Amino acid sequence: MDKMRMESEDIQQENVKKIAALFPNCVTEARDEGGHLKKAINFELLKQMLSDSVIDGDEAYEFTWVGKKASIVEANKPIRKTLRPCKEESVNWDTTENLYIEGDNLEVLKLLQESYLGKVKMIYIDPPYNTGHDFVYPDSFIMNNEDYNEGTGYFDEDGNVNYQRENSASAGRYHSDWCSMIYSRLMLARNLLSEDGVVFISIDYNENFNMRSIANEIFGESHFIGEIYWESKTKSQNTKTSYNKLQPKEEMILVYSNQEKRRFHLIQLGEKEYPEKDDRGVYRKYPIEVMNANGVRGRKSMIFDITDGVSTVSPPAGKQWQLGQDQVAEYRQAGDLYIENGKAIIKMRPEYERNESTQPFWGFFSKEIGTAESAKSELKTLLPNNGFDTVKPVEMIRRLVYHATEKNDIILDFFSGSATTAHAVMQLNAEDGGNRKFIMVQLPEETDEKSEAYKAGYKNICEIGKERIRRAAKKIHEDNPDARFDDGFRVLKLDDSNMNDVYYAAGDYTQDLVAMMESNVKSDRTDLDLLFGCLIEWGLPLSLPYTSETIDGCMVHTYNDGDLIACFDENVPESVIKTIAKRQPLRAVFRDSSFASSPEKINVGEIFKLLAPDTRVKVI
């Protein structure tokens, strides 16, 4: 039986394998930080393989900053972390398909790589806008001033300022940390996007250019669908900085898709009241007016006779028609032209009579769908003392979800904040009977002890987000009493690996350590912790149903009708092994300590070969 890794996928090594399949001569070996050999790429040779001539030198069209390479390396590094279930903070744990995950989104995205690879239809993020405040994301690759100055060449070898260097270190550092933070996360998020998936990124003027450049690089410039301008403000800001800058009323939403040409759902229009018709059955009259009133003749093509089959009119001397001959001919052929009192009249029908019951996906969201001010009031009504100064309107996110998803799709927001996206998904599901699922990811940033949110009992942002989802679900039910939608969520929390760290030098072993290694699972971990750890490693969704039952004194967990069956008890008897094998699950997992000896472990393999030859069996 194979041993489970209990760590995230090594994306860097997977990328090396893909390149090796195409260019095996470019694969070499290198030693990692621990001195162990691993596969690596000879980039100079790879560059030669991809070009008929290599241009030496540093000049190239690229977008870069100090720390970019480190952020790429960090995104590809595996981690020894897990997601621990928290049933007591969840809602409808056994039936819901929604997830609320607490933890650093960089590490959470790494853990989701296998379970949700290519399964997310829509990603919406509202990242920090880099307004000058410190980041709360503790990325290990974000550099201090000394490392940054060394990378930029700000100082020479003697420690003196290098005045030959262009640009200022302060301006560069201001943007570099932010770029590194967002780049690594978008790299990982791209892997989760489905083939027809869509990414929406809210941003303002502080980092719009850099965000666009990063997204172009990660998703591909040809996959840029457009930019939505959202009228976020209706009030001016009379601050000291407002006197020397233009005051924008809009924020932007960048739109990217895995498909270069992506069709979006059109907005369905409601029924309109019909206006009264006149005695000729005309809704509105539009005379074909003449122009050039100063007496100067216009284009000859605009000067012609118009007839409705009975009467004929011509433009006055020195003037021309407003419409061309082709347009007039179309109206006449449709029966919408007639002449009255020496004037040519066109019958203009309203939109609904032309069978236009929809509107396209416009690149502008007006204040009617909500502003930053109205969104703040909206949240305060639902959740007083929430502590959020800036939030997005529910209707705005609901509109994005409506345009981009089908009724059973998954929506991911890994800068969840107050969980507006979860609110919007539930709202739309209640309206159209959908079963869209949300995955919210949020760093449990602590609230200020002096804030209203802290005084109201919210110790971190995640507590606010979860309570917002609970109250939003209740309000939606009140407003839509007949609606049926998933109003629950499973809470998962990022934590260290379920497994003890057993890598010690030979001289470090003690009797206590040897005893600990006999059971390599941490003592505070439950069966549910271990089950979800196995789901992550085996790439199974974290939202499907499972059952637990006792068989011959052992607790056995069956996930999604046999996608996986697990038993984490000590000394599992052969009768339990045979019962599990007879059910022929796709996967089976046991603890290493479930078997007293190597012969018993070998016997387990033989039982599965006989009763369930297609089942993959592993131990932790």
pLDDT (tens digit per residue) in 54-97: 555 555 677 888 888 888 888 888 999 999 999 999 999 999 99
Confidence category of residue 512, pLDDT binned at 50, 70, 90: low
**Burial (CB count <10 Å: 0-12, 13-18, 19+), residue 22:** exposed
81-95, 140-154, 264-278, 368-382: range with highest mean pLDDT: 81-95
DSSP 593: G
The pLDDT assigned to 327 comes to 84
User: For residue 464, is it left (φ>0), alpha (ψ between -120 and 50) or beta?
Assistant: alpha
The pLDDT assigned to 352 comes to 42
Q: What are phi and psi of 309, to 5 degrees?
A: 95, -15
Q: 38 - beta bridge partners? A: 30
Provide the CB-side half-sphere exposure for 360 (13 A, CA). 6
Provide the CB-side half-sphere exposure for 89 (13 A, CA). 18
The pLDDT assigned to 161 comes to 37
**Helix (H), strand (E) at residue 492:** strand 490-496
Contact partners, residue 541, CB within 8 Å, separation at least 6: 115, 116, 119, 535
pLDDT at 49 over 90: no
Confidence category of residue 513, pLDDT binned at 50, 70, 90: very low
Task: Give yes or no for a contact between 26 and 42, defined as CB atoms under 8 angstroms apart.
Answer: yes
The pLDDT assigned to 523 comes to 92
Task: Give yes or no for a contact between 594 and 619, defined as CB atoms under 8 angstroms apart.
Answer: yes
Identity of residue 568: F
Q: Which two tokens stand for residue 429?
A: 């599901």
Alpha-carbon distance of 373 to 376, in angstroms, equals 5
Rounded average pLDDT over 529-550: 96
The pLDDT assigned to 171 comes to 47
Task: Give yes or no for a contact between 582 and 612, defined as CB atoms under 8 angstroms apart.
Answer: yes
Q: What is the mean pLDDT of the chain?
A: 83
Helix (H), strand (E), coil (C) string for 543-592: CCCEEEEEECCEEEEEECCCCEEEECCCCCCHHHHHHHHHCCCCEEEECH
Nearest residue to 180 via CA among 126, 125, 141: 141
Alpha-carbon distance of 6 to 534, in angstroms, equals 7
Buried b vs exposed e over 388-410: b needs ≥16 C-beta within 10 Å?
Answer: bebbbbbbbbbbbbbbbbeeebb
pLDDT at 142 over 70: no
pLDDT at 281 over 80: no
The pLDDT assigned to 594 comes to 86
Q: What is the pLDDT of residues 208-245, one digit of tens each?
A: 999 999 999 999 998 999 999 999 988 766 655 555 56
The pLDDT assigned to 155 comes to 41
pLDDT at 421 over 90: yes
Cα dihedral 406, 412, 415, 416 sign:
positive
Q: What is the pLDDT of residues 345-388, one digit of tens each?
A: 777 655 444 445 677 888 999 999 999 999 999 999 999 988 89
Buried b vs exposed e over 485-524: b needs ≥16 C-beta within 10 Å?
Answer: bbbbbbbbbbbebbbeeeeeeeeeeeeeeeebeeebbbee
What is the dihedral angle through the alpha carbons of 605, 608, 613, 615, rounded to the nearest 10 degrees? -90
Helix axes 598-611, 574-582, angle to 10 degrees: 30
The pLDDT assigned to 353 comes to 46
Alpha-carbon distance of 465 to 485, in angstroms, equals 19
Contact partners, residue 30, CB within 8 Å, separation at least 6: 37, 38, 40
